[in-house]
Amino acid sequence: MELIRHALEAALEASKVIMKYYDGEVEVELKADQSPVTIADKEADKVIRKVLEETGLPILSEEHPIPDHEERLQWEQFWMVDPLDGTKEFIKKNGEFTINIALIENNVPIGGVIAAPASDIVYFGESGYGSFKSVLSKNTQNVNDIFKEVKPLKPEDPGKDDIIRVAVSRSHLDETTVQYIDKLKQTREVETTSAGSAIKIGLLAEGKAHIYPRFSPCMEWDIAAGFGIVNQLDFQFISTENQKKLSFNKKNLLVNGFVALRDKSFL
């Protein structure tokens, strides 16, 4: 898990930078696509890149120019980074934002780190090792400290629960998602939890949610780290376009919709 240790170190350093800005005045700019970006996004990206560059692997980050697809297809392993996922939540100061760092191998996320700086939680995992959660404290200084408080994640099968728990987006809840939930309610009792950013994937990893449906567009870097974590726990991310597993490192990094779940009978 040496590479994921680098990702954890990068997430720790970025968390410090982000929280410095979170506690102050947040200046917001708009990108070309009209999505918000702050200086915290940009500074976190710099810190993460500095740490990950030590691994020698290429880095694909939301806050950095994206290399041509032909070049990316030559990458056997690389990092996919969202230095501040949930910028809208960061601006609202509701704490529901994350740092997402995915380790991609042969265009499949095989590991990842999701850090939630405002709640001092880190989720991480890698193929062959499993998935874990660590709660940070004022005494957490480095990666070794993260492993001192680590908890293996083993969510129960949803078939053993009387209630189907669904994680939904706080900022992107749309009518299609509401219709999907209404369909689930025809056969099971359903409980929904709203959250921002990749925290919803953390809820899957902990067993606090069984399903995460998203029918509005997002980008690969929004979910790649989460994929790399919960894929170890038998979750699948099924495309709403073709009902197949999501693919990564596409020419267009847009994801038009997916349902993340363990039991495909709930599609």
Indicate the class that CATH gives domain 158-266. alpha beta
Average pLDDT over residues 167-176: 86
Mean pLDDT of the chain: 93
| pLDDT for 123 | 98
Can you tell me the mean pLDDT for 20-43? 86
For residue 202, give the nearest of 155, 138, 148 by alpha carbon. Answer: 155
pLDDT (0 to 100) of residue 86: 92
| Ramachandran sector of residue 184 (left: φ over 0; alpha: ψ -120 to 50; beta: rest) | alpha
Q: What are the percentages of helix, strand and coil residues in the chain, rounded to 5?
A: 35, 30, 35
pLDDT tens-digit readout, 39-88: 999 999 999 999 999 999 999 999 999 999 999 999 999 999 999 999 98
Instruction: Please give the Cα distance from 129 to 250 (Å, whole number).
Output: 27
Strands 98-105 and 108-116: antiparallel
Query: What single letter denotes the amino acid at residue 225?
Result: A
Residue intervals in the chain for CATH 3.40.190.80: 158-266
Contact 216, 254 (CB under 8 A): no
Which pLDDT band, with edges at 50, 70 and 90, does 262 fall under? Answer: very high
Pinpoint the residues of the chain covered by CATH 3.30.540.10.
Answer: 2-152
- The residue type found at 3 is L
**The domain 2-152 belongs to what CATH superfamily?**
Fructose-1,6-Bisphosphatase, subunit A, domain 1 (3.30.540.10)
